[in-house]
């Protein structure tokens, strides 16, 4: 039977915003064009595997139980499978595979520090910031300042050097915070 999976609008917009913010960090770090391409595609597609999850669980308006959380964690493997099937290179596959790693080693797969690909470390920051500052069925959106406070309470999860660059970009408004919530698709 032919698979019929749909990426919901939230995840689509989330991918766009994360890729734009990640791209700005890459520019600040003077990534070469090949790295910029990998960065852009990895951040755009990092959550594409969520299309394979039970959408009732993914969008549940409450805190998830342990089994449900384990189910949601599988999206990284589905995302990797999708990008592999689309023919994207191994760097992109790995960047996506490790986008839920914490800098202190407490993330999904336990990689730590510089073991985590730099693109995954960038996505980790932009991803979290975007989730915090946007509405989800299970939570309200935070202001930019609240999101920074929240992230700084768990600063060990993030590459601090990258976090500083990201914060500076947002603070100086040098980053394009894509607001496409007004678009009717
Ligand atoms: Fe994710």
Phi, psi dihedral angles at 73 (to 5 degrees): -60, -25
* Chain segment 95-134, per-residue pLDDT in tens: 999 999 999 999 999 999 999 999 999 999 999 999 999 9
| CA gap 69, 53 in Å, rounded | 11
Predicted local confidence at residue 80, as pLDDT = 98
Q: For 74-155, where are the alpha helices, taking DSSP H only? A: 75-85, 90-97, 118-132, 144-153
How close is the Cα of 99 to the center of ligand 1, in Å? Answer: 7
Predicted local confidence at residue 146, as pLDDT = 95
Predicted local confidence at residue 185, as pLDDT = 33
Whole-model pTM: value is 0.91
How close is the Cα of 48 to the center of ligand 1, in Å? Answer: 9
Predicted local confidence at residue 92, as pLDDT = 98
How close is the Cα of 184 to the center of ligand 1, in Å? Answer: 25
* Chain segment 126-180, per-residue pLDDT in tens: 999 999 999 888 888 899 999 999 999 999 999 999 999 999 999 886 555 555 4
Q: Which residues contact 152 (CB under 8 A, 6 or more apart)?
A: none
Mean pLDDT of 11-40: 93
Predicted local confidence at residue 10, as pLDDT = 84
How close is the Cα of 75 to the center of ligand 1, in Å? Answer: 7
How close is the Cα of 14 to the center of ligand 1, in Å? Answer: 10
> Which position has the higher pLDDT, 31 or 139?
31
Q: Which domains does the chain have, with CATH numbers?
A: 9-171 (1.10.3210.10)
Q: What is the CA radius of gyration of the chain?
A: 16
| CA gap 98, 42 in Å, rounded | 11
How close is the Cα of 126 to the center of ligand 1, in Å? Answer: 11
How close is the Cα of 18 to the center of ligand 1, in Å? Answer: 11
Q: Which residues contact 42 (CB under 8 A, 6 or more apart)?
A: 22, 91, 92, 95, 96, 99, 119, 120, 123
How close is the Cα of 153 to the center of ligand 1, in Å? Answer: 20
How close is the Cα of 122 to the center of ligand 1, in Å? Answer: 13
How close is the Cα of 73 to the center of ligand 1, in Å? Answer: 8
Predicted local confidence at residue 59, as pLDDT = 87
């Amino acid at each position: 039977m032919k698979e019929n999976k749909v990426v919901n609008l939230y995840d689509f917009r989330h991918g766009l915003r994360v890729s734009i913010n990640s791209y700005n960090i890459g520019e600040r770090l003077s990534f070469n064009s090949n790295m910029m391409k990998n960065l852009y595609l990895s951040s755009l597609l990092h959550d594409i595997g969520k299309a394979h999850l039970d959408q009732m669980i993914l969008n549940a308006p409450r805190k998830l139980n342990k089994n449900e959380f384990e189910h949601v964690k599988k999206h990284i493997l589905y995302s990797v499978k999708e990008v592999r099937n689309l023919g994207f290179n191994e760097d992109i596959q790995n960047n996506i595979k490790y986008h839920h790693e914490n800098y202190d080693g407490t993330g999904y797969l336990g990689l730590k520090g510089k073991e985590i690909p730099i693109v995954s470390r960038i996505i980790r920051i932009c991803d979290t910031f975007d989730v915090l500052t946007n509405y989800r069925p299970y939570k309200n959106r935070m202001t930019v300042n609240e999101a920074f406070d929240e992230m700084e309470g768990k600063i060990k999860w993030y590459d601090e050097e990258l976090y500083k660059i990201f914060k500076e970009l947002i603070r100086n408004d040098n980053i394009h915070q894509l607001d496409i919530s007004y678009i009717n698709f």
